[in-house]
Amino acid sequence: MTNLWKYLVYPPVSVSDEKLRRSFASKWVVVTGATSGIGEALTLRLIHAKANLYLISRNEQKLQLLCQKAKENGCEASYAAIDLRQRDELDTMCAQLRDSLPAVSYLFCNAGKSIHRTISDSIGRMHDYDRTMDLNFRSTVALSLALMPSLKMAGGRIVYTSSVSSRYPFVPGWSAYHASKCAANSWCRTARREYKRLGVKVQLAYMPLVHTPMSDVNENYRNMPAYSADEAACILLRLATSGKFFYKPWWAI
């Protein structure tokens, strides 16, 4: 029964190596949140497809390992080990990227953080809202603005990892997370229309539950059927190679 449920709600997703090579080989791809979960699975797929990578997260050791792996596979690779919530660090990195990266074909804005806390438990914790907004929303905007000339040069794409829960009636406890994801959704919807004339595509993945270190913190989620990180990476890659504006699971209304 559990397997049937998983199969229906989370139908298998895959993407062929051949298709990925055709779309990504030798293209510059920027990935935020590359060191864990969905972003790490995405990075491994991109290495296999021989993309050139610029990886962004905080865990420098992991970033180094991934870049080493990419170079061993014949890709160019570089990284920035930064906390995307720190505005000064983000500004400095954006300025460097503007100057150093050639045409960028894909920007995957995937780094994210979820917080489960009710509003009444958030008194004195305004930083919960600042941190989720800075990471889930503001860093996406900052990177998109900084890379716009490079994206325009390549006729590139911005792909944002949103959450399917941002399309549902909101449940208690997720005010910070949902507010930040909805802000990013709204920005992407506007950017999609404005950037069209520049030849840059903006795409949104309303991701359902995925087993990653982020979701598995929650015991209820840990035991529920969900996509694997690699399946979620395939969803992002399929979206990024399609003409669609967004991905959502078939059951999401």
Ligand X SMILES: NC(=O)c1ccc[n+]([C@@H]2O[C@H](COP(=O)([O-])OP(=O)(O)OC[C@H]3O[C@@H](n4cnc5c(N)ncnc54)[C@H](OP(=O)(O)O)[C@@H]3O)[C@@H](O)[C@H]2O)c1
Size of the chain in residues: 253
Place of tokens 């449920």: 5
Task: Quote the tokens at residue 74.
Answer: 């014949």
Residue 111 binds ligand X (CB under 6 A): yes
Q: Which is nearer to ligand X, 18 or 88 (CB)?
A: 88
Q: Which is nearer to ligand X, 76 or 83 (CB)?
A: 83
Residue 132 binds ligand X (CB under 6 A): no
Task: Quote the tokens at residue 183.
Answer: 């802000």
Question: For ligand X, how many residues bind (rule: CB under 6 A)?
Answer: 28
Q: Which is nearer to ligand X, 35 or 203 (CB)?
A: 35
Residue 209 binds ligand X (CB under 6 A): yes
Closest CA to 20 of 39, 40, 37, 43: 43
Q: Which residues pair with 211 in a beta bridge?
A: 228
Place of tokens 């997260």: 57
Residue 98 binds ligand X (CB under 6 A): no
Per-residue burial over 97-121, b if 16 or more Cβ lie within 10 Å, else e, is: beeebeebbbbbbbbbbbbeeeeee
Let me know the angle formed at the C-alpha of 232 by 229 and 235, rounded to the nearest 5 degrees. 155
Among 215, 239, 240, 247, contact with ligand X (rule: CB under 6 A):
215
CB of 22 to ligand X, least distance (A): 26
Residue 203 binds ligand X (CB under 6 A): no
**If phi over 0 gives left and psi between -120 and 50 gives alpha, with beta otherwise, what is residue 104?**
beta
Q: Which of residues 154-183 bind ligand X (CB under 6 A)?
A: 161, 163
CB of 130 to ligand X, least distance (A): 12
| Residue 144 three-state SS | helix
What is the x/- site pattern for ligand X, positions 18-57, by CB under 6 A?
Answer: ---------------xxxxxxx-----------------x
CB of 75 to ligand X, least distance (A): 19
Among 43, 105, 110, 185, contact with ligand X (rule: CB under 6 A):
110
Query: How far apart are alpha carbons 159 and 202 in whole angstroms?
Result: 6
* Contact (CB, 8 A) for 35 and 57: yes
Q: Which stretch binds ligand X (CB under 6 A): 47-55, 119-127, 151-159, 210-218?
A: 210-218
What kind and span of H or E run contains 168? none
What is the x/- site pattern for ligand X, positions 56-85, by CB under 6 A?
Answer: -xxx-----------------------xxx
Q: What is the dihedral of CA 218, 135, 193, 155, to 10 degrees?
A: -110
Q: Which residues bind ligand X (CB under 6 A)?
A: 33-39, 57-59, 83-85, 110-114, 135, 161, 163, 207, 209-210, 212-215
